[in-house]
């Protein structure tokens, strides 16, 4: 049974996303409105990861060895400037997408495992991740024209 591996993947991705939200906030301290929202989303991601922990433990008991190359790093530090911010948000979007699809896969797994409790967590947290994606998309759409066409 590999559900534990996927739960671990999701758990790690959620924590990576939380850290990435904090890093982007620190890396762009002068960007308006990043402080509050990024901090709030970082907390949210951390909470989501914590809510997964009992299930990681639950399914780890019967898990086989973790396959190779399960994890990949999608975000490795912020870049300066307007274009840098756009690229950072873009990276975060990919990272959040990984979380989103992982929630969806875990939901299928939870259905297979007949785990109502896990399904409830996925329903709640998956919705939050969808809003995070929308926010990243909104933020990128707003800065893209200036960063791509105007700034030198």
Q: Does 67 bind another protein (CB under 8 A)?
A: no
φ and ψ at 64, to 5 degrees?
-85, -175
- 71 phi, psi to nearest 5 deg: -100, 145
Q: Quick one: 136 exposed, middle or buried, by C-beta within 10 A (0-12, 13-18, 19+)?
A: buried
> Cβ of residue 103: shortest distance to another protein, in angstroms?
17
Distance CA 132, CA 125 (A): 11
Residues 10-29 that bind another protein (CB under 8 A): none
Q: Examine residue 131 and tell whether it contacts another protein (CB under 8 A).
A: yes
Confirm or reject binding of residue 31 to another protein (CB under 8 A): yes
Say how many residues touch another protein, by CB under 8 A: 26
User: Which positions touch another protein (CB under 8 A)?
Assistant: 30-33, 35-37, 39-41, 81-82, 131-132, 134-135, 137-138, 141-142, 145-146, 149-152
């Amino acid at each position: 049974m590999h559900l534990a591996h996927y739960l671990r993947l999701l758990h790690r991705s959620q924590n990576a996303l939380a850290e990435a939200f904090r890093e982007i906030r620190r890396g762009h301290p002068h960007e308006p409105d990043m402080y509050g929202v990024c901090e709030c989303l970082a907390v949210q991601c951390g909470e989501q990861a914590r809510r997964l922990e009992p299930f990681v433990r639950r399914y780890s008991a019967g898990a086989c060895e973790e396959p190779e190359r399960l994890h990949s790093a999608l975000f490795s530090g912020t870049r300066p400037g307007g274009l840098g911010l756009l690229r950072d948000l873009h990276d975060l979007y990919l990272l959040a997408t990984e979380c989103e699809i992982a929630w969806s896969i875990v939901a299928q797994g939870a259905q297979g495992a007949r785990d109502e409790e896990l399904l409830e967590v996925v329903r709640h947290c998956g919705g939050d991740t969808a809003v995070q994606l929308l926010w990243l998309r909104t933020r990128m759409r707003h800065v893209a024209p200036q960063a791509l066409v105007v700034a030198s």
